[in-house]
Amino acid sequence: MFKLLLCCLLLTIDGGWAFNHGQDLVDFQTYKENFTKTYPSTSACNFANYYFIYNRNQVAQHNAQADRNRTTFREAVNQFSDIRLIQFAALLPKAVSTVASAPTDPPPSQAAATSFDIITDFELTVAVEDQGVNCSSSWAYATAKAVEIMNAVQSANPLPSSLSAQQLLDCAGMGTGCSTQTPMAALNYLTQLTDAYLYPEVDYPNNNSLKTPGMCQPPSSVSVGVKLAGYSTVADNDDAAVMRYVSNGFPVIVEYNPATFGFMQYSSGVYVQETSALTNPRSSQFLVVVGYDHDVDSNLDYWRCLNSFGETWGEEGYIRIVRRSNQPIAKSAVFPSALA
Ligand SMILES: *[C@@H]1O[C@H](CO)[C@@H](O)[C@H](O)[C@H]1NC(C)=O
Ligand SMILES: *[C@@H]1O[C@H](CO)[C@@H](O)[C@H](O)[C@H]1NC(C)=O
Ligand SMILES: *[C@@H]1O[C@H](CO)[C@@H](O)[C@H](O)[C@H]1NC(C)=O
Ligand SMILES: *[C@@H]1O[C@H](CO)[C@@H](O)[C@H](O)[C@H]1NC(C)=O
């Protein structure tokens, strides 16, 4: 593997290696500053520098293809560009459901519109969160955002306060909060415990540098949280149901396989998953589907999904994923469906 990478690197950089090396060091220095990177040792830093150069070249090659309309999305250097794809995949292990689902009746819904976007059609201002690189916490971030957006729609509040993913991590993680937990655990906590209100982030701050969940804090007497009465599930592959619920103002959480170079470095356009990533995924990232439409540039239908890699990742924190029947988005799909 190592030899293969080295080989690719030398081939890509060819005769200009000696000359470019100085520039690469400058670029890596800028990268470290831009993404406030620190490394525990010189050797860790050298590896990061090496993979940064490799990944940056891969990104440049991909974008050259995008310039020739041979791919429908673009990539960019981001917080993950100093690690290998297999490390990225290992950061986000495959989710394992540890709790029985206790969904309630699905909410009434009307037929889906041709296109819809909960964020833009309801003119919501929703902050994008960054889960960091230390804890596989998308299950908590996606649930907090879905509850926040659903509550904003139902209460006609275009400026909702961010709700605390940290509270879900600390109180509903059950020992796997930074590894393999699912949104179901968070939704069961919010619906089954009578005193489980989801608090605003200002009252229960997120801390994305933690490697493990913290202690579940007692509710603050001044904080006003959101109480959930129920949630619903969508059968795997039932994209028509996802579309209908999104079109009715319910953001739907889905499980997605993030372990591809294209997802790791995604920056814009309509992302089409490599077919190799569709079978036996070994990684999980939970995304919140907020809309769907047709993209004129690529002539592709897409889902618009909110991720939790910060607002500099993707399209201001969102990714548009191709919407087609042989690549269904409905996977372990679940959504908050009723407020208490
Ligand atoms: C790529 O597609 C866009 C939109 O379809 C078009 O405007 C552009 O000219 C194409 N570029 C090339 C190099 O074919
Ligand atoms: C987050 O946790 C780290 C590690 O415990 C701590 O050093 C840091 O101060 C915390 N940050 C915030 C904003 O609480
Ligand atoms: C946790 O993440 C922060 C950046 O978000 C990083 O500086 C720190 O080194 C990480 N800690 C560990 C133990 O990986
Ligand atoms: C710094 O990072 C941002 C995204 O976080 C990117 O848009 C910008 O181009 C980067 N700047 C440099 C000098 O790399």
Sequence-distant (≥ 6) Cβ neighbours of residue 142 within 8 angstroms: 183, 253, 286, 287, 288, 306, 308
User: For ligand 4, what atom is nearest to the CA of residue 27?
Assistant: 14
Confidence class of residue 256 from pLDDT cuts 50, 70 and 90? Answer: very high
Answer yes or no: is pLDDT of 130 > 90.
yes
Model confidence at 209, in pLDDT bands (50, 70, 90)?
very high
The predicted structure's pLDDT at residue 22: 64
Contact 140, 173 (CB under 8 A): yes
Residue 7 pLDDT > 60? no
Tell me the per-residue pLDDT of 188-199, one tens digit each, with 9 for 90 and over.
999 998 889 999
Cα–Cα distance, 340 to 158 (Å, whole number) = 20
Q: Which residues line ligand 4 (CB under 6 A)?
A: 30, 34, 312
DSSP string, 205-221: ---TT-SS--PPPPPPS
pLDDT band per the 50, 70, 90 thresholds, residue 11: very low
pLDDT of residue 79: 96
State the average pLDDT over residues 238-249: 98
Structure confidence at residue 10 (pLDDT): 31
326-339 average pLDDT score: 96
Q: What percent of the chain has pLDDT over 70?
A: 93
pLDDT given for residue 20 in this prediction? 54
* Contact call for residues 273 and 322 (beta carbons, < 8 A): yes
Average pLDDT of the segment spanning 145-159:
97
Band (pLDDT 50/70/90 cuts) for residue 172 is very high
- If you measure from the C-alpha of residue 266 to the centroid of ligand 4, how many angstroms do you get, rounded to a whole number? 14
User: Average of pLDDT values for 61-82?
Assistant: 97
Specify the residue with its C-alpha closest to ligand 4, atom 7. Answer: 312
Nearest ligand (C-alpha, residue 91) = 3
Ligand nearest to the CA of residue 64, numbered in listed order: 1
Q: Within 6 Å (CB) of ligand 1, which residues are found?
A: 68-69, 297
The 10s digit of each residue's pLDDT in 280-320 is 899 999 999 999 999 999 999 999 999 999 999 999 999 99
Q: 43, exposed or middle or buried, with CB in 10 Å at 0-12, 13-18, 19+?
A: exposed
Among the atoms of ligand 3, which is closest to the Cα of residue 210? 1
Which ligand has the nearest atom to the CA of 311? Answer: 4
- Say what percent of the chain tops pLDDT 90: 84
Q: Considering only CA atoms, give the Rg of the chain.
A: 21
**Interacting residues of 300 by C-beta distance below 8 A, sequence separation 6+:** 72, 270, 272, 294, 322, 323, 324
Taking the CA of 135 as reference, the closest ligand is: 3
What is the rounded average pLDDT of the residues 75-92? 97
Global pTM?
Answer: 0.91
Instruction: Give the pLDDT of residue 218.
Output: 77
User: Tokens for 128?
Assistant: 């994008």
Helices (H), the chain: 2-13, 17-34, 42-67, 85-91, 118-121, 138-154, 165-172, 183-192, 239-247, 261-264
Confidence of residue 8 (pLDDT cuts 50, 70, 90): very low
Closest ligand relative to 36 C-alpha:
3
To the nearest whole number, what is the mean pLDDT of the chain?
Answer: 91
Tell whether the model's pLDDT for residue 267 goes beyond 90: yes
Angle at 48 between CA 45 and CA 52, to 5 degrees: 140
pLDDT the model gives residue 3: 32
Indicate the top mutation candidate among 134, 137, 309 to test ligand 3's pocket, ranked by most ligand atoms within 8 A of CB: 134
Question: In this structure, which residue's CA is closest to atom 6 in ligand 4?
Answer: 312
pLDDT at 230: 96
Q: Is the confidence at residue 9, as pLDDT, over 60?
A: no
3-state secondary structure at position 195 = coil
Residue 223 has pLDDT above 80, yes or no: no
Does the Cβ of 325 fall within 6 Å of ligand 3? no
- CB of 36 closer than 6 angstroms to any ligand 3 atom: no
Q: What residues line ligand 2, using a CB cutoff of 6 Å?
A: 207, 209-210
Cβ 133 under 6 angstroms from ligand 3 = yes
pLDDT band for 224, please (50, 70, 90 cuts): confident
Q: How far is the CA of 206 from the centre of ligand 2 (A)?
A: 9
Query: Measured from the CA of 37, which atom of ligand 3 is nearest?
Result: 7
pLDDT at 277 over 90: no
pLDDT surpassing 60 at residue 1 = no
Residue of the CA atom closest to atom 5 of ligand 4: 312
